[in-house]
Amino acid sequence: MNTKRILIAGLGYVGLTTGVCLAELGHSVVAYDVDDEKIVQLRKHSLHFREPELMDLMERNAGAGRLEFTSSCEESMRDVDIAFICSGTQPDSNGAADLSDVEATVQRIALGATKPFTLVLQSNVSPRGSFERLSVVLSQYLPETISAAVVVNPTFMREGSAVFDFFHSDRIVIGAWDYAAAEDIATLYSPLHCPVVLTDPVSAQLTRYASNAFLTMKTCFINEVARIATQVGADIGSVTEAMGLDTRLGTDFSEDNKTFNTSCYSGDVLVLAALAEDNGGQAALLRAVIENESGRHLLIRTLHDALHGITGKKVCVLGLATHGRADEAPNSPVHEVVTTLCRQGAHVHAYDPDSDRINLPVTQWPGIRYFADAYQAANGSDAILVASDWPELGGLDWGNIRVHMTGNTVIDGRGMLSPDTMRELGFDYLALAS
């Protein structure tokens, strides 16, 4: 195997996971971030987010000398063959990505280069002009004696299963005008034995946005069907099971997101819609998906209907993240629902199996209380929202919960529970996704 010295710049869940997994494949990886405190914690093998399997891999590869951490870009660029840019970007209200952090990272990398290398762009940037803009920044700051090719390599990792997704990729997408550089990056992934799509940079960038927008659209669609199922008394689980047997549709309607889409998926829909409209086109379907907000409006409407208004009602929220196995930003969809409930006058009793999740800005809202016990949180509630897919939430003693509730409404935003069992226990059970 031809091992490379690889820089990973930006140690969020994508960057750190990519670096650790490339080290696991045998490469020498230096992981860089401007946040000194983050580097200190990583050197102590302390993760700043939650990702199954990542800690074990990080400790193993750091111990083997294949993985190191630094806050010095100059130090990290010594003898680097490939530099991955994984700095974060956030779309503004119009869908335009903020490239300031990415540009600053490209500049530091260029100034620290000691030999020809390939720059791999994994940050989420717009397909319109970003590749060219960053290529210009790179050329402006590179020493005259050093050359660098630029490659786009979008990621499709999900929070909570990023390690699994890396090693079991459906496909690798690489976009570049330099075919040799693209082939070189493709070689990094050859041990994964998955399909590789080589294309131009714009097509590679658009692939990520189109894929995530399509997933969001599927989730929005099945949530609309779930609303209809509730209205007519149908079982949404049976509906999706039967639909999934149609090979044209597939079974994965909403497995990744259920009622709540992650914020990055919603942001990608916004970027794609803005891209179409800025180029003189229309994006009616994408705008409809944005307006739907991936089930959040549906959830609030369902609670309103079930409780005949939510002002003054006690709503128990079980789980504070879209995925129990992941660690999400404070603006995750679940937190948006909680703040909306508080804003509309509900008394929210929240529980999460991971007590660290109470340290969030949402705690500033009046009307919300946090509990260390799910049964205490549910006691006296008018309705319960199952918002995360923690396995232990499905294993609760729901009969005991029913006895101590004031109302009997359970809204399952994760499709975790058995409709028949819940109804036998006396719940007014509504599954918004399955």
- Write down the pLDDT at residue 384: 95
**Residue matched to tokens 């005008």:** 177
Question: What is 5-199's CATH superfamily?
Answer: NAD(P)-binding Rossmann-like Domain (3.40.50.720)
Q: Which of 157-166, 282-291, 377-386, 398-407 has the lowest mean pLDDT?
A: 282-291
pTM: 0.76
Task: Name the residue ranges covered by the structural domains of the chain.
Answer: 5-199, 211-431
Q: In CATH terms, are 5-199 and 211-431 the same topology?
A: yes
- Write down the pLDDT at residue 403: 95
Q: Which residue has the higher pLDDT, 283 or 11?
A: 11
Instruction: Indicate if the pLDDT at residue 433 is higher than 70.
Output: no
Q: Domain spanning 211-431: which CATH class is it, in words?
A: alpha beta
Task: State mean pLDDT over 421-426.
Answer: 92
Q: Which of 74-83, 148-157, 325-334 has the lowest mean pLDDT?
A: 325-334
Instruction: Indicate if the pLDDT at residue 254 is higher than 50.
Output: no
* Cβ atoms of 134 and 103 closer than 8 Å: yes
Instruction: Indicate if the pLDDT at residue 191 is higher than 50.
Output: yes
Residue 202 pLDDT grade (very low, low, confident, very high; cuts 50, 70, 90) = very high
* C-alpha span between 401 and 379 (Å, rounded): 7
Instruction: Indicate if the pLDDT at residue 288 is higher than 80.
Output: no
- Write down the pLDDT at residue 330: 47
Percent share of the chain, pLDDT over 70: 85
- Write down the pLDDT at residue 107: 93
Instruction: Indicate if the pLDDT at residue 417 is higher than 90.
Output: no
- Write down the pLDDT at residue 434: 44
- pLDDT tens figures, 70-123: 999 888 898 999 999 998 776 655 556 677 888 999 999 999 999 999 999 998
Percent share of the chain, pLDDT over 90: 46
Instruction: Indicate if the pLDDT at residue 360 is higher than 60.
Output: no
The letter for the amino acid at 313 is: K
- Token digits of residue 67: 């993985």
- pLDDT tens figures, 11-35: 988 999 999 999 999 999 999 999 9
Residue 409 pLDDT grade (very low, low, confident, very high; cuts 50, 70, 90) = very high
Residue 292 pLDDT grade (very low, low, confident, very high; cuts 50, 70, 90) = low
